[in-house]
Amino acid sequence: PYATPIMTFSLILGTTITISSNHWVLAWTGLEINTLAIIPLIAKSHHPRAVEAATKYFLTQAAASALVLFSSMTNAWVTGQWDITQMNHPTSCLLLTAAIAIKLGLVPFHFWFPEVLQGSPLMTALLLSTLMKFPPLTLLLLTSKSLDPALLTAMALASTAL
């Protein structure tokens, strides 16, 4: 009976940590708390399709989180800055754009999202489609001046068209 409130609190905590952070490691920690909190909610029914959806979600989000951490480490190595708003290295910006696109399920990296939603319960799918998008969108907004606007526009148009 205590598992669902704890997971809900963890979702709110992870989202709050990521949204309010100005350091890359803290933002990454919030993203990981969100990922680890939603997986039991996806696999709650113990149906094979739900377990498959939870596994797909975990693998996709782990790869995207690794890209976020790698891009921030690359930027810190080159510039000496761990501040989210100080993304200056072009390779770091490209890797961060890919990581955020994976986390948001934008068009080149969108194949995981419908399958995870199909295997999830309705309320969990609602959480995945709304609350779980706030932290990556916040990171996108905080780093938007450093990211390539043509690439972001192309991904947005392709996502809208699909």
Residues 97-116, mean pLDDT to the nearest whole number: 93
| Domain count along the chain | 1
- Helices 48-79, 112-119: axis angle to 10 degrees equals 140
Give burial (CB, 10 Å; 0-12/13-18/19+) of 157: exposed
pTM: 0.91
pLDDT tens, 36-91?
999 999 998 889 999 999 999 999 999 999 999 999 999 999 999 899 988 989 99
- pLDDT of 29 higher than 90: yes
The parent domain of residue 23 ranges over 2-161
- pLDDT of 1 higher than 80: no
Q: What is the pLDDT of residue 2?
A: 87
Pairs from 81-88 (Cβ < 8 Å, separation ≥ 24) = 82/23, 82/24, 82/25, 83/22, 83/23, 83/24, 84/21, 84/22, 84/23, 84/24, 84/27, 84/139, 84/142, 84/143, 85/22, 85/142, 85/143, 85/145, 87/143, 87/146, 87/147, 88/146
Contacts of 61 (CB under 8 A, 6+ apart): 31, 35, 103
